[in-house]
Amino acid sequence: MKNVIEIKHPLIQSHLAVLRDKNTPCDQFRAVIRRVSRLLTYEATVDLATRPIEVDTPICRTTGCALKQRIGLVPILRAGLGMVDSVLNLVPQAEVWHLGFYRDEETFKPVEYYKKFPEGDPVDVALVLDPMLATGGSALAALKAVYDWSVPIVKLISVIAAPEGIERVLSHYPNTRIYVGAIDEGLNENAYIVPGLGDAGDRIFNATA
């Protein structure tokens, strides 16, 4: 599927087995989310633009490179927060802007409760972070906010995704690249990913209802 990059790296796949296990404790789940996020980010940033710079090594002067574009991280609250630190470890100069949604359990639609973007002056590349791409409702709302901010390059990074969510996102924003560790079978009657890993936000923050 065009613009969908499912990263079938052995390290990601082994970490996914830990995340799927319902007996994985919260602290380990949180740590593994960070590891997978780091690996996904490595792939999602392979085409970032660079500029040449001069540096002095202990031996001599040489030419290196630095990132040329402004990078913005847009975690979808709350689960996306579990991915931020790992991405910042790789892109420490990135800006972080937040979007908050909760799911209406009757309609399964996202309800926005928080948005923090600066007026004008959009970043060059936005990485939208959400461990789960299920129905695609929250992702669509987040992508709309980012594109309305006039960001030219937008990528969505998720740990797992359902085909329904992917199709819905690409039907509205076909130029958005989606980086995902696994594409699962689909959604159940409660709009949860199957086999999935449960509610990522609850498991990251040890806040199971």
- The stretch 142-164 carries a mean pLDDT of 96
Q: Above 90 in pLDDT, residue 163?
A: yes
The full set of domain ranges for the chain reads: 4-204
pLDDT, tens digit, for every residue of 56-86? 999 999 999 999 999 999 999 888 999 999 9
Looking at residue 63, what DSSP letter applies? E
pLDDT beyond 70 at 96? yes
Q: What is the pLDDT at residue 209? A: 55
Q: Which CATH architecture has domain 4-204?
A: 3-Layer(aba) Sandwich (3.40)
DSSP for residue 84: H
Question: What is the set of active-site residues?
Answer: 103, 107, 199, 202
The identity of residue 195, as a single letter, is P
Rounded CA separation 128/61 (Å): 38
